Amino acid sequence: MFNIVILAVGKIKEKYFEEAAAEYKKRLRPYAKIVFEEVSREPFRKESERKVAKEKEGERLLGALAKYSNDEIIILDERGKEFSSPAFADFLDKEKRRIVFVIGGALGLSPEILAKSYRKISLSEMTLPHEMARVVLFEQIYRAATIVAGKTYHY
């Protein structure tokens, strides 16, 4: 059984993303213990406020990550390592520590987070909206779990 934490900036606002995430959370119950934790997003109104907002979100993430120092911390970054679904399943299956996935907000991840020696993976070379990235991550974790379990979800 996978032991996973998903740490993200902000709440999912769109109902359709929340419904999709809830569906995958439900499907994952037999295969994974998943904890979902959110840090608050930092509002900004002007372009000039973006840098400060991203830094504040980064500080919140670092504060939340402090309790996971013995876990495998993985940040989602478009420049990170890409996996095929079977390779991702193998990776998750072999990891014995709890895995903490970190998803940035609308502004992405702060330079302080990106500079850490955390493992970086990419769901795509394309930039995804942060709410969609959560759903894609949930789906890929579910796909990995079914691959490991020998189910026929993945063809």
Supply the CATH number for residue 104's domain: 3.40.1280.10
pTM exceeds 0.85 for this model: yes
41 DSSP assignment: P
Residue at 92 is within a domain: yes
* φ/ψ (deg, to 5) at 79: -95, 5
Dihedral class, residue 132 (left if φ above 0, else alpha if ψ from -120 to 50, else beta): alpha
Q: Which two tokens stand for residue 115?
A: 């500079």
Residue at 98 is within a domain: yes
Enclosing domain of residue 48: 2-149
pLDDT tens string 67-81: 999 999 999 999 999
Residue at 69 is within a domain: yes
Number of domains in the chain: 1
C-alpha span between 71 and 122 (Å, rounded): 19
84: pLDDT strictly greater than 80: yes
Instruction: Summarize the confidence of residues 78-102 as an average pLDDT.
Output: 96
**Which positions ≥6 away from 7 have C-beta within 8 Å?**
37, 38, 39, 61, 64, 65, 68, 100, 101, 102, 103
**Local confidence band at 10 (pLDDT 50, 70, 90 cut-offs):** very high
pLDDT of residue 132: 94
Residue at 155 is within a domain: no
Instruction: Summarize the confidence of residues 25-54 as an average pLDDT.
Output: 93
pLDDT tens string 124-150: 988 889 999 999 999 999 999 999 999
